[in-house]
Amino acid sequence: MAEKLVECVPNFSEGRNPEVIKQITDEIEKVKGVKLLDVDPGYDMNRTVVTFIGEPEAVGEAAFRAIKKASELIDMSTHTGSHPRMGATDVCPFVPVSGVTEEEAIELAKSVAKRVGEELKIPVYLYEKAAQSEERRNLAVIRAGEYEALPEKLKDPKWKPDFGPAEFNVKAGATVIGVREFLIAYNISLNTREKKYASDIAFELREKGRSARRPAGKPYYFKGGKIIKYQEGKYPCGSCDFDGKTIQETIEHCKTEHGYDLVELLKLNNIDPEHPEGKPVKKPGMFKNVKAIGWMVDDYDRAQISINLTNYKVTSMHHVLEAARKLAAERGLVVTGSEIVGMVPFDALLESGKFYLEKQGRSRGIPVKDILETAVQSLGLRDVSDFKIEERVLGLPKNSDDALVEMKVSDFTDEVSRESPAPGGGSIAALAGALGASLVSMVSNLTAFKRGSENVDEILNNAAEKAQKIKDELIHAVDADTNAFNDYMEARRLPAKTEEEKAKREKAMLEGLKRAVQVPLRTAELSLEALKLAAEVVNYGNPNSITDVGVGAQIAHTGIIGGIYNVLINLKDIDDEEFNAEMRERCRALRTDADKLVMAVELSVNAKLNQ
């Protein structure tokens, strides 16, 4: 069962006083089962984004304590900053990470919101997936007018808080709590001090778009032109010079000619599609799930496009950055780099790395850490401050410090040579398979994307990517095999004085033995996949590296045989005929396929060596 993990990313309206920020984060770290991942203060914004993760109940408690401390230390009546805000804790989103459903996260958000409202007397609004009504899903709509608008806003029955009193809390303001997808807070830096240029590009990028302008004789948006507004009997398009006689005509035109839904766009901008007279015509933005504004950051002495990517699986960092680079160039500007505020999901940075490798005409089948570094460099993430992958990437695959694979080669071989039974043949088989996959990847990468390789680039690139995944899983199996053996030995040491203890011990031993079979079986299967790739790459690889493919095939074959040996020896102690028969048949099929493949690769290598 997956570990239950929830991320919480509260934004506090304090970015200038380190002592205040420390007191708030101390409250978070006091809660057992919570890990503080990142604290990112912004002086000009006067705002700090905090990221922590843990089990749902612990995260909820930590969030409440942090909100409480912020309400005690931050006085909103004297607060100023460049970022929109409405409370000491401006927003507190919960993000389900693993083992937690969206519904469970929503219940967590509601329970925290209830405590904040009742115990701290702070008005609380629920947003995004926890919103009680469609009108309150959007944070920008809830926060409109900011802290200064709260006294009047709270008198309006339409803006009665979801929790807490409908009374103005002068010191703490109001708080927005909810559940959302992982949001990447992403800023793009420009070589200008003019905020208007950053805002101009932000309006082009964001989903909400902008008010359309049409200078005389020009059908599209040009800077400085008059804003187009809907007029009675005339419903112009915001992307061209079409003037419909009815709103329905314009809606159909926009769908057919430009591929966007005008009704949704109007609603996004709080315009009733049935009564748009006098409202600005909206030109849709370039990207879905993107919110953006422009601002000036004195600390960096440049303007930035501040972006929230609300669903990076639809629109990610490289999408908006490449578009921003083009828009900046059209305005005589240069994007100097970008920054991530807080944490970034592993797969988001990985996809950006693969995107830039492809643009560079390079293989994507390289080690994960190299792909991530490509993303960091290509996105310019070290432009305004350092970016450490191991500290800023959430879900980064890594081994424990005491893992066998973290040892130096000399230390690992020493460990294997000692009198202890593990690590033994199973771990070595996994390592052999991993090395075989590595050699296949190496030859693929040495051959692909070179002059004359155009016809086989995709074949070799796919082979390299598959080999990297096999390598990574087999590296994990080096420790998994030893751990499975140790678990079995622990089961053998269980007490067996009573019948109940004996039965419990027998059950634990059987489960341990079956795990000790499954791990080397998986090693053999993965090693066979590496051998299949070798059989493919031997036909397309650089002739100067043909022996490397041969070595890769031979050592992958060793991984298969080693895995099979460890399956068979552990089956001897398992009293389960059906399970044993199935495992032996799978081993037989693996061995047959392996022997055929390694022979075929050897014949191909020898033939090319003798040419």
Residues 271-282: what's their mean pLDDT?
82
pLDDT at position 347 is 87
Q: Which two tokens stand for residue 65?
A: 């304590």
Q: What is the mean pLDDT of the chain?
A: 91
Rounded Cα distance between 191 and 336, Å, is 6
pLDDT band with cut points at 50, 70 and 90 for residue 224? low
Catalytic sites, residue numbers = 83, 481
Mind listing the pLDDT tens digit for each residue in 172-221?
A: 999 999 999 888 999 999 999 999 999 999 999 999 898 887 655 443 34
Tell me the domain boundaries of the chain: 5-180, 210-283, 290-394, 404-609
For residues 452 and 376, the answer to whether their CB atoms sit within 8 Å is: no
Stretch among 392-401, 417-426, 531-540 having the lowest mean pLDDT: 392-401
pLDDT above 80 for 401: no
pLDDT above 60 for 372: yes
Enter the CATH code of domain 404-609: 1.20.120.680
Q: At what angle do helices 346-359 and 317-330 cross, to 10 degrees?
A: 50
297 forms beta bridges with 302
Helix (H) or strand (E) holding 35: strand 34-42
pLDDT at position 120 is 97
Helix (H) or strand (E) holding 37: strand 34-42
Rounded Cα distance between 181 and 97, Å, is 9
Q: Which of 546, 547, 556 is nearest to 597 (CA)?
A: 556
Residues 401-410: what's their mean pLDDT?
86
Please report, for residues 132, 187, 191, 297, 323, the alpha-carbon distance to residue 383 in angstroms, rounded to integers and kept in the order given: 41, 11, 12, 14, 18
pLDDT at position 225 is 67
308 forms beta bridges with 185, 291
Residues 259-265: what's their mean pLDDT?
84
pLDDT above 80 for 102: yes
Buried residues in 26-51 as b, exposed as e (16+ CB within 10 A)? ebbeebeebebbbbbbbebbbbbbbb
pLDDT above 80 for 398: no
Mind listing the pLDDT tens digit for each residue in 10-32?
A: 999 999 999 999 999 999 999 99
- DSSP label of 573: T
Mind listing the pLDDT tens digit for each residue in 142-154?
A: 999 999 999 999 9
Indicate the residue type of 608: K
β-bridge pairing 89-98 and 175-179: parallel
β-bridge pairing 5-8 and 393-394: unpaired
How many CB atoms are located within 10 Å of the residue 497 CB?
A: 8
User: What is the longest distance spanned by two Cα atoms in the chain?
Assistant: 95
Give the CATH number of domain 5-180; options: 3.30.990.10, 3.30.300.30, 3.40.228.10, 3.90.1150.10: 3.30.990.10
Q: Which fold has domain 290-394?
A: Alpha-Beta Plaits (3.30.70)
For residues 123 and 89, the answer to whether their CB atoms sit within 8 Å is: no
Mind listing the pLDDT tens digit for each residue in 303-312?
A: 999 999 988 9
For 438-476, the three-class secondary structure string (H helix, E strand, C coil) is HHHHHHHHHHCCCCCCHHHHHHHHHHHHHHHHHHHHHHH
54: left (phi over 0), alpha (psi -120 to 50) or beta: left
For residues 291 and 208, the answer to whether their CB atoms sit within 8 Å is: yes
Residues 277-284: what's their mean pLDDT?
86
pLDDT at position 379 is 97
pLDDT above 60 for 392: yes
